[in-house]
Structures are given as C-alpha cells and as structure tokens.
Amino acid sequence: MAVVLLVEDDRAVRQGLQLALRRQGHVVHAGESGEIGLELLHTEHPDIVVLDLMLPGIDGFETCRRMRSSAEVPIIMLTARSDDFDVVAGLEAGADDYVVKPVQPGVLDARIRAVLRRAVSERPVNGQPTGETHGDLVIDRAGLVVTRNGNPVPLTPTELKLLLELSRTPGQVYSRQQILSAVWDHDYLGDSRLVDACVQRLRAKIENVPAKPEYVQTVRGFGYRFGRS
C-alpha cells in the first residue's frame, strides 16, 4: 500500500483512477490542478505522485519542476501522447516514469509498485563496510546516503538506484536495456529515454562538471559506466 497523490484535471479520469487505485489498496489524495497538487504534496506527504502533464493554470511540466525542487518524492507522469517532446520534456522536468493515456489502472498500479521498490534498502554483504569512497563522492549502501565533499546529495529513489547499480562494478559498461531492467523493473520493457534523462539529472547532482562527467560516463554506442574507483 502507498499514499498516492493523483493530479488530473479530467474529473472522470481522476475519479476512475482514484477508485481503481483504492481498490488496489492505496490511499489516494486527488487534485485537479497543479496548484492544488503542490498544496497536497506538502500537507499529505505522499509516497508517490501521479501527475497529468496537461493541466490548467500551472501545467504539468512546471508542477513537476516545482515538486522536484522541494521534495524527492517519485513522480509518474501521465501523457496523452508518447512523442518525444512530451516524454523528454516531462523526464527532464524530473519525472521518474510515464504512462500514456488512456491509462489502464492495472498498468499504472504496476508502475507505482515498481517505482516504490527502488526505495527498498540494500544490505551490506558479509559485514563489509558500507561506505564506498569514489573521489569526492561517498556512497553508503546500507544507509542509502550519498555525500559529495561531505555534503548530502539529495537523490530521488530512481537516481539513487541508478547510482547504486552503476557504482557496484566500476568500469563495467551497462547497456541502456540492462539499466532499464535493473533500475526500472526486472521485467519492464521500457524506453531508453528514461535512462538518458535520469543520467542527466544524476550528473547534475554528483559531477563537478556535468558536461565532462567523471563518474557516470557515456560509452558511445553501448551505454554507461561508472568511471571512478
């Protein structure tokens, strides 16, 4: 069960999804605008946000950016189209995943559960130290804490899971599909744009010069690797 914040301006869609998600065992708080969604984010403290992109007033892109600037809550965006503009813009605004309308409640529930599984703690193996130092970056796998130059780095569950996966074996190259399987879900056939957008956001938080990454490096034609050890 999760506390879900649903932001959708279409009343019929909002009520239908609200009812379906409640039947799946979730607690659902719903709003019809970005403004209401931002208020509910701070009063209800949801585990995850399901956010429509086409909203009156503050649109979904700006709502997503504002939510992301004030909280590390996972965000799944709802889009009427799967074209590059909507998807890429939404991911760059801070969304962790997307679902194309018309939304199948079972698909949305599965995506919600998959996103929330990324926040499950990883445990140290055989009593080994959990703090790994990579240059000015320290990764504590047991505490799920990342620091850079001694300062905490605020990462979303998806960004953290991506960093944990890549840094587990520095130097190993992971294809986008391998990353999708490991980070988004073991059986999720997803979109490589999810990976690229998440890498971009992660670099902005952990790299000294995001345009010249030391940690999350691109291997052209193959994928990504964690570069420092």
User: Nearest-5° angle of CA 83, CA 60, CA 84?
Assistant: 15
What does pLDDT average to over the chain? Answer: 88
What architecture does CATH give domain 3-117?
3-Layer(aba) Sandwich (3.40)
CA-CA distance, 58 to 152, in Å (whole number)? 30
pLDDT per residue over 103-131, tens digit each?
899 989 988 988 887 655 444 445 555 57
Max mean pLDDT range (42-51, 91-100, 105-114, 137-146): 42-51
CA proximity to 155, closest of 45, 147, 109? 147
* Alpha-carbon separation of residue 130 from 49, 139, 191 (angstroms): 30, 8, 32
Residue ranges per domain, the chain? 3-117, 131-226
The CATH number for 131-226, chosen from 3.40.50.720, 3.40.470.10, 1.10.10.10, 1.10.3720.10, is 1.10.10.10
For the whole model, what pTM was predicted? 0.79
- What pLDDT score was predicted for residue 43? 96
- What pLDDT score was predicted for residue 16? 95
Q: Check pLDDT > 70 for residue 135.
A: yes
- Residue type for 199, please? V
